[in-house]
Amino acid sequence: MLENIKGLEFSHPRLKICSDLPGIDSLLSSIRADRSGGEPLRQNISAVAEIMGRDWVSENYPGRAGTIIGIPRSGVPMGNGLNAVFPGYDYLLSNDGGNRDEGQPILPNNLSINGPNLLVTDSVIVTGRTVALTLSAALSKASSLERVTVFAAFASAGGLINLLKIFPELEINIGSIARTKQHWDVHRWKSSLTLEGIPNLGELVSRP
């Protein structure tokens, strides 16, 4: 199923593209157009995650026990949205992404993650590397998991393929798929992949 890609179309039995859920499309359009960031952007991203989370509940009846892990920076509003849907879940932040502290593990060494549900959030999946590192760290500390699901607002087909190759049982819920492009990162002084038409959400969500 991984080869079912044509343009921006990508299908996989463990992937759900949520752009047709009520209210999602207008929120995604607002996020794409945002260049100011701050609280309005954080609220829009959280709202996307909340809609996706409520839809996931209606399909899966997952129960009240689980853990949410948000990937800083742009995955935090996604995590906040899911936390509104699952207030009884543990809510953690990983040490991953662009602001990673190299002196610290991705998740605390003494952490124990209990099931049955593990939900990982990041607003944007480009290559899938950040999500994969966070998932690997979480799974090494987990017991009795029944469902492992990633939530993101935007993702590339390539990033989704990478994740599903590493974690074949992973469930993924995204808002929409976007193309990748090369982008000059002025902070790291190198060219890197980004998503076409999507602003730098990591920077924008950090604004006051």
Query: What does the DSSP assignment read for 10-73?
Result: E--TTEEE-TTSTTHHHHHHHHHH-SS-SHHHHHHHHHHHHHHHHHHHHHH---S-EEEEE-TT
Q: How high is the pLDDT of residue 189? A: 55
The structure tokens listed for 82 are: 């899911």
Average pLDDT for the chain: 88
Average pLDDT rounded to a whole number, residues 136-155: 94
In a domain, 9, yes or no: no
In angstroms, the CA 169 to CA 148 distance is: 8
In a domain, 8, yes or no: no
In a domain, 2, yes or no: no
**Tens of pLDDT along 19-65?**
999 999 999 999 999 999 999 999 999 999 999 999 998 887 666 68
The residue range of the domain holding 193 is: 15-202
Looking at the 3D structure of the chain, how many domains does it have? 1
In a domain, 10, yes or no: no
Contact 181, 193 (CB under 8 A): yes
Longest CA–CA span in the chain (Å) reads 46
In a domain, 7, yes or no: no
Contact 163, 132 (CB under 8 A): yes
Reply yes or no on whether the pLDDT at 186 is more than 80.
no
CATH number at residue 111: 3.40.50.2020
In a domain, 127, yes or no: yes
Count CB-CB contacts under 10 A for residue 179: 13
Residue type at position 65: A
